[in-house]
């Protein structure tokens, strides 16, 4: 295949937004879609190479996989080794063990499957995993394994050969439909797994198979390139992490990339992208992608960073580019030029290397942190945050009526929905109290059930689902809350409805839109038949995992945990408290920001949270007792504290 410099330039447009997004440059709010650009490029290039060789009858699986191994594995191996050395020096025992498990999955080209299976809603090790970004490499590696076999089989069966493009097109259509469907069932599956991502790589394949880039009239190529650039700009600058993804929102990046590939070198976009600065970054883009994430993770660990300043971001960007260039020049390139090495030798060495990597990783898992002497409290803190979600305490705290009362992505993916009989059936003559919200409602459920002796607490909760109207989010969220308003609340006898949520998930300073949506929800609850609506304010949050932060601080000698409190909770509490001054709706607000500690004075020997925003059982009991006392005051007072639109 003839070298196309503009495609290296397009790789620059893929990798830099990913870096900027990960390094906290908020302008690049959709920078994560750079991965989707890579997918389309990979699909186009790999399919072009395979089909050209098949048509010339020079294709062999051994030679294809030899080239892939020399291209992919040496840089990856170097990054893994460097990551292990750094982890040995700076990471906590549990994090190193998790790195060992991830390395095994990466070596077997299945890290995307591992992350999908291993990282649940309350997973805490994902945010500090320096190999988390290898999920996209795994998707591409699986594509490289499957695609040559499919194309070879199609061409081997002669009657199908002339339909190979149509067959891949059917696969693309099926994969896109699967991606859309999975977004309503399991967004993690849609994000991580090849079947729901195949369509993105497949679009690149279709360009190669149909020869669109060769058949498009020259006069249209300039317009195609400009439109493609516009779609990429929209994807990179207008999308953000709160948008449903991939699915329909991935079309901007996929279509934009496809159009720029179709436009070719002689188009306006092609001429720009083929300039030396773009081509340079594009050539080192693989190494740059590999190095940037571990550098970010260890930078945060060593300097106890939870948010990056612009200086931090620029420093990390420059450091990533320098290391990537050195890696590309002195490591990646020499391996790619080993043309004299046979396929047998390459694949043999690759196999031995992979086996060795797995063995080393298994050994690390067996050591269990004994390579260094750690304070027992460090072990206790890491064990708390890692294992808490699987303890009996957690089950009592979150799901005292059963796990089907708190719908997470995992339960939804398993086909389990909300169990009305178990969760909303009265088991006493007490007044029913529907406890509505997300995980910040769930983490108070057990303790609140104990504290509110005059009520029967009926949980109606879904993780990651902000209860504001109009409803927004995954179907498991919107369907559940919609049914609460139309079916569940009206069927109960004048229930009290208490709403609790991670209000800071709104993602910005509370504004008029937020206030309106909160009022809309209150109106809907009152119309549905609630005898009273009570809104619980935000609880204590940190900008990073608190137990891990406390463990790291013991290693580096820093003890001021108050500095890491998420200040957004105070802004939301102030706005929501101000709404109590109006008096038209029967809804009361209970402030909880000072329930566990005073503002700017929150140092404690024990972690108050088991991650960055969920209360431990002990903390939840304290907060529940305050809620109980405040509700008693509201109940006995002749004057309610209402909320209304201002």
Predicted confidence (pLDDT) at residue 583 exceeds the cutoff of 50: no
User: Tens of pLDDT along 480-507?
Assistant: 889 889 988 888 888 999 999 999 988 7
Residues 363 and 387 in one domain: no
The mean pLDDT of 618-627, rounded to a whole number, is: 95
The answer to whether residue 372 is domain-embedded is no
d(CA 10, CA 34): 10
**Could you give the angle at the alpha carbon of 602 between the alpha carbons of 598 and 604, nearest 5°?**
130
Residues 423 and 282 in one domain: no
Residues 227 and 292 in one domain: yes
Residues 523 and 428 in one domain: yes
Predicted confidence (pLDDT) at residue 368 exceeds the cutoff of 60: no
List the end-to-end C-alpha distance of the chain, in Å, as a whole number.
65
For 43-156, strand residue ranges (E) read none
Backbone phi, then psi, for 57, in 5-degree steps? 60, 35
- For residue 628 the two structure tokens come to 């109980």
Of 44-48, 106-110, 241-245, 374-378, the range with the lowest mean pLDDT is 374-378
**How many CB atoms are located within 10 Å of the residue 228 CB?**
24
Lookup result for tokens 């493609």: 228
- Report yes or no: 544 and 502 within 8 Å, Cβ to Cβ: no
> How confident is the prediction for the chain on average, in pLDDT?
87
507: three-class secondary structure by DSSP: coil
Residues 405 and 308 in one domain: no
Residues 424 and 546 in one domain: yes
User: Tens of pLDDT along 419-468?
Assistant: 888 888 877 788 899 999 999 999 999 999 999 988 999 999 988 888 99
- For residue 447 the two structure tokens come to 């303790």
d(CA 305, CA 9): 32
User: Tens of pLDDT along 390-429?
Assistant: 889 989 999 998 888 898 876 665 556 788 888 888 777 8
d(CA 561, CA 580): 31
d(CA 576, CA 515): 8
How many structural domains comprise the chain? 2
Burial class of 125 by CB neighbour count within 10 A (0 to 12, 13 to 18, 19+) = buried
User: Tens of pLDDT along 267-291?
Assistant: 999 999 999 999 999 999 999 999 9
Residue that is last in its domain, among 341, 367, 393: 367
- For residue 284 the two structure tokens come to 């080192």
| pLDDT value of position 645 | 42
Residues 390 and 439 in one domain: yes
Confidence of residue 172 (pLDDT cuts 50, 70, 90): very high
Residues 237 and 307 in one domain: yes
Burial class of 449 by CB neighbour count within 10 A (0 to 12, 13 to 18, 19+) = buried
d(CA 218, CA 449): 70
Residue 467's nearest CA partner among 410, 536, 530, 529 is 536
The answer to whether residue 231 is domain-embedded is yes
**How many CB atoms are located within 10 Å of the residue 161 CB?**
14
Q: Is the dihedral of CA 146, 148, 153, 155 positive or negative?
A: positive
The answer to whether residue 490 is domain-embedded is yes
b/e per residue 367-387 (b: at least 16 CB within 10 A): eebeeeebeeebbebbebbbe
Instruction: Give the domain extent around 611.
Output: 383-635
Lookup result for tokens 């009657």: 159
Residues 346 and 202 in one domain: yes
- The tally of CA atoms less than 13 A away on the side-chain side of residue 293 is 22
The answer to whether residue 234 is domain-embedded is yes
Of 115-124, 252-261, 597-606, 628-637, the range with the lowest mean pLDDT is 115-124
Choose between 640 and 107: higher pLDDT: 107
Residues 331 and 449 in one domain: no
165: three-class secondary structure by DSSP: helix
Residue that is last in its domain, among 339, 367, 395: 367
- Report yes or no: 346 and 61 within 8 Å, Cβ to Cβ: no
Predicted confidence (pLDDT) at residue 69 exceeds the cutoff of 50: yes
Residue that is last in its domain, among 367, 393, 418: 367
| pLDDT value of position 637 | 65
Q: In what order do the strands lie in the sheet with 532-536?
A: 406-407, 455-462, 431-437, 496-500, 532-536, 587-590
Burial class of 540 by CB neighbour count within 10 A (0 to 12, 13 to 18, 19+) = buried
Residues 387 and 472 in one domain: yes
Which range has highest mean pLDDT (4-13, 108-117, 122-131, 551-560)? 4-13
The answer to whether residue 622 is domain-embedded is yes
CA distances from 607 to 343, 391, 614, 623 (A): 55, 17, 11, 15
Q: What are the beta bridge partners of residue 392?
A: none
Residues 395 and 362 in one domain: no
The answer to whether residue 643 is domain-embedded is no
The CATH code of the domain that includes 421 is 3.40.50.1110
Burial class of 484 by CB neighbour count within 10 A (0 to 12, 13 to 18, 19+) = buried
| pLDDT value of position 345 | 65
The mean pLDDT of 561-566, rounded to a whole number, is: 86
d(CA 523, CA 517): 10
| pLDDT value of position 151 | 92
- For residue 426 the two structure tokens come to 């009265």
The answer to whether residue 376 is domain-embedded is no
DSSP H or E run through 63: helix 61-90
Give residue 63's Cα distance to chain centre. 36
496: three-class secondary structure by DSSP: strand
Lookup result for tokens 């109207």: 469
Q: Is the dihedral of CA 198, 201, 203, 205 positive or negative?
A: negative
Burial class of 529 by CB neighbour count within 10 A (0 to 12, 13 to 18, 19+) = middle
- Report yes or no: 542 and 609 within 8 Å, Cβ to Cβ: yes
| pLDDT value of position 418 | 84
Confidence of residue 601 (pLDDT cuts 50, 70, 90): confident
The answer to whether residue 15 is domain-embedded is yes
Complete DSSP assignment for 233-259:
HHHHHH--TTS--SGGGGHHHHHHHHH
Predicted confidence (pLDDT) at residue 584 exceeds the cutoff of 50: no
């Amino acid at each position: 295949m003839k070298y196309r410099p503009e495609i290296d330039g397009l790789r620059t447009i893929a990798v830099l937004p990913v870096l900027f997004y990960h390094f906290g440059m908020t302008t690049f709010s959709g920078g994560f879609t750079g991965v989707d650009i890579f997918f389309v490029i990979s699909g186009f290039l790999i399919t072009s190479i395979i089909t050209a060789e098949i048509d010339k009858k020079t294709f062999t699986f051994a030679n294809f996989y030899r080239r892939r191994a020399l291209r992919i594995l040496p840089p990856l191996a170097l990054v893994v080794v460097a990551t292990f050395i750094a982890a040995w020096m700076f990471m906590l025992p549990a994090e190193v063990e998790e790195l060992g498990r991830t390395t095994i999955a990466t070596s077997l080209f299945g890290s995307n499957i591992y992350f999908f299976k291993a990282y649940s809603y309350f997973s805490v090790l994902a945010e500090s995993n320096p190999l988390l970004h290898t999920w996209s490499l795994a998707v591409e590696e699986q594509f490289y394994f499957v695609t040559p076999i499919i194309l070879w089989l199609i061409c081997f069966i002669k009657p199908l050969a002339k339909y190979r493009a149509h067959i891949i097109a059917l696969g693309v259509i099926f994969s896109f439909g699967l991606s859309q469907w999975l977004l309503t069932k399991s967004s993690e599956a849609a994000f991580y797994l090849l079947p729901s991502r195949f369509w993105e790589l497949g679009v690149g394949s279709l360009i190669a198979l149909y020869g669109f880039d060769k058949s498009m009239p020259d006069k249209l190529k300039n317009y195609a390139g400009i439109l493609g650039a516009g779609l990429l700009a929209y994807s990179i600058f207008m999308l953000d992490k709160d948008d449903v993804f991939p699915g329909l929102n991935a079309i901007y990046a996929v279509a934009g990339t496809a159009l720029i590939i179709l436009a070719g070198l002689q188009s306006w976009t092609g001429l720009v992208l083929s300039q030396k600065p773009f081509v340079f970054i594009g050539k080192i883009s693989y190494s740059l992608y590999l190095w940037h994430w571990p550098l970010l993770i260890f930078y945060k660990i060593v300097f106890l960073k939870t948010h990056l300043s612009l200086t931090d971001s620029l420093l990390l960007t420059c450091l990533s580019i320098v290391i990537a260039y050195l890696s590309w020049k002195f490591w990646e390139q020499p391996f790619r030029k080993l043309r004299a090495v046979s396929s047998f030798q390459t694949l043999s060495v690759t196999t031995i290397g992979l086996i060795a990597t797995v063995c080393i990783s298994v050994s690390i898992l067996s050591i269990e942190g004994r390579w260094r002497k750690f304070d027992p409290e460090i072990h206790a803190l890491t064990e708390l945050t890692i294992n808490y979600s699987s303890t009996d305490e957690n089950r009592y705290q979150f799901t005292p009526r059963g796990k089907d009362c708190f719908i997470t992505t995992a339960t939804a993916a398993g086909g389990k929905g909300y169990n009305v009989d178990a969760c909303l059936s009265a088991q006493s003559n007490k007044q029913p109290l529907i406890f509505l919200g997300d995980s910040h409602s769930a983490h108070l459920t057990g303790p609140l059930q104990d504290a509110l002796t005059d009520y029967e607490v009926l949980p109606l909760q879904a993780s990651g689902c902000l209860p504001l109207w109009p409803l927004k989010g995954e179907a498991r969220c919107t369907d559940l809350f919609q049914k609460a308003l139309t079916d569940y609340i009206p069927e109960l006898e004048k229930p009290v409805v208490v709403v609790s949520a991670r209000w800071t998930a709104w993602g910005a300073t509370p504004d008029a839109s937020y206030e309106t949506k909160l009022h809309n929800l209150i109106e809907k609850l009152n119309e549905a038949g609630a005898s009273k609506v009570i809104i619980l304010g935000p609880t204590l949050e940190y900008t990073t995992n608190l137990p891990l932060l406390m463990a790291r601080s013991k290693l580096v000698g820093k003890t001021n945990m108050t500095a890491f409190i998420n200040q957004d909770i105070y802004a939301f509490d102030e706005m929501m408290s101000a709404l109590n001054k109006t008096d038209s709706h029967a809804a009361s607000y209970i402030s909880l920001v000072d329930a566990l500690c005073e503002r700017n004075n929150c140092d404690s020997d024990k972690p108050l949270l088991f991650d960055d925003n969920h209360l431990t059982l002990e903390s939840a009991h304290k907060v529940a007792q305050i809620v109980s006392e405040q509700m008693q005051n509201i109940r006995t007072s002749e004057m309610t504290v209402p909320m209304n639109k201002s």
